[in-house]
């Protein structure tokens, strides 16, 4: 009989493409991955892995079994969801992910609520950018991720996921108090065509949104500084080194000498939770969504 944990290891190898990636996703050592795969090969009597340079690749038999493993694990998750739903209790382990400002702005309140209401629930959380959060849910490395859409650029969303709205997050531009536009009630992004920007690291979803939005207006942004966290970006703005996009969730506390002016025409981010549709009936998922929505009301 095939061992479920060894099938889970094979599935992780197929999804991550490497022993190290599978080990990180499963939170085990690389040697444990190798041991599990060796045992699985003995169980099925076929070679599942072959050397590929310094790494490994799945053989034809390995890919075939990995396809079955993905379906089997999905059915197991569905069975666990149904059992949890029938029991109606919020118990077990829940793995959450969120992009930085949501992790800082929502999770302290939401996770405290979950701990108070459901002491038998073990929650683990980590910081992941939106695209990575979606991929973690798809791979089974996270049960729920908090991600975002920009008002004019949605995050690509694969099939097989369920979602729930958490927060609408208005967008402003942060600038030094001495900036010529600091006294305005509203601004357009194109008003800052001549300014240097403090933006997110290259390749991130939010960075790509800024390039996409400004280039659509015929502006090639002058990005002088890049920083992951909004607080770091705001500190650079306070030092007079540029302007930055300032969603409401990422502003507090606002540094002295900095003002955030709203962007016209309802510019905002839509923050929501995503999880695998086959886990939709899990009470722990529903409890987490409820706690996040309550946290959003408190910070909004």
DSSP string for residues in 167-233? EEEEEEEEEETTSTTTT-S-B-GGGGTTSEEEEPPTTSHHHHHHHHHHHHTT---EEEEE-SSHHHH
Prediction pTM value = 0.75
CA–CA distance from 173 to each of 163, 200, 213, 270 (Å)?
Answer: 29, 14, 14, 17
pLDDT in tens, 43-94: 999 999 998 887 889 999 999 999 999 888 878 877 776 777 667 778 888 9
Q: What is the pLDDT of residue 39?
A: 93
Element spanning 243, H or E: none
What does pLDDT average to over the chain? 91
Mean pLDDT of 144-152: 96
**8 A C-beta contact, residue 155 and residue 237:** no
Q: Sorting pLDDT into bands at 50, 70 and 90, what band is 101?
A: very high
Q: State pLDDT tens for residues 152-164.
A: 999 988 888 999 9
Residue 186 predicted with pLDDT over 90: yes
- What does the pLDDT read at residue 35? 92
Encode pLDDT of 280-289 as tens digits: 888 899 999 9
Q: What is the pLDDT of residues 209-260, one digit of tens each?
A: 999 999 999 999 999 999 988 999 999 999 999 999 999 998 888 999 999 9
């Amino acid at each position: 009989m095939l061992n479920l944990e060894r099938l889970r290891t094979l599935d992780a190898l197929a999804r991550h493409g490497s022993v190290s990636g599978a080990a990180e996703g499963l939170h085990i050592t690389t040697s444990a991955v190798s041991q599990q795969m060796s045992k699985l090969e003995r169980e099925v009597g076929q070679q599942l892995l072959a050397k590929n340079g310094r790494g490994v690749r799945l053989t034809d038999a390995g890919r075939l079994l990995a396809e079955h493993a993905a379906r089997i694990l999905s059915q197991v998750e569905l069975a666990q969801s149904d059992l949890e739903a029938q029991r109606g209790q919020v118990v077990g382990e829940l793995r959450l992910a969120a992009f930085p400002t949501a992790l800082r702005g929502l999770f302290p309140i939401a996770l405290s609520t979950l701990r108070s209401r459901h002491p038998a629930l073990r929650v683990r959380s980590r910081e992941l950018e939106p695209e990575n959060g979606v991929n973690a849910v798809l791979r089974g490395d996270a049960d729920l991720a908090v991600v975002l859409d920009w008002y004019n650029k949605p995050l690509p969303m694969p099939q097989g996921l369920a979602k729930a709205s958490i927060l609408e997050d208005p967008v402003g531009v942060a600038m030094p108090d001495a900036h010529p536009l600091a006294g305005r009630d509203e601004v357009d992004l194109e008003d800052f065509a001549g300014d240097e920007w403090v933006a997110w690291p290259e390749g991130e979803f939010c960075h790509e949104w800024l390039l996409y939005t400004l280039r659509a207006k015929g502006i090639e942004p002058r990005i002088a500084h890049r920083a992951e966290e909004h607080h770091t970006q705001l500190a650079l703005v306070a030092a007079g080194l540029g302007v930055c996009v300032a969603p409401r969730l990422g502003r507090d506390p606002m540094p002295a000498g900095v003002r955030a002016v709203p962007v016209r025409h309802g510019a905002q981010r839509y923050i929501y939770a995503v999880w695998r549709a086959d886990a939709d009936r899990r009470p722990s998922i529903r409890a987490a969504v409820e706690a996040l929505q309550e946290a959003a009301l408190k910070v909004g």
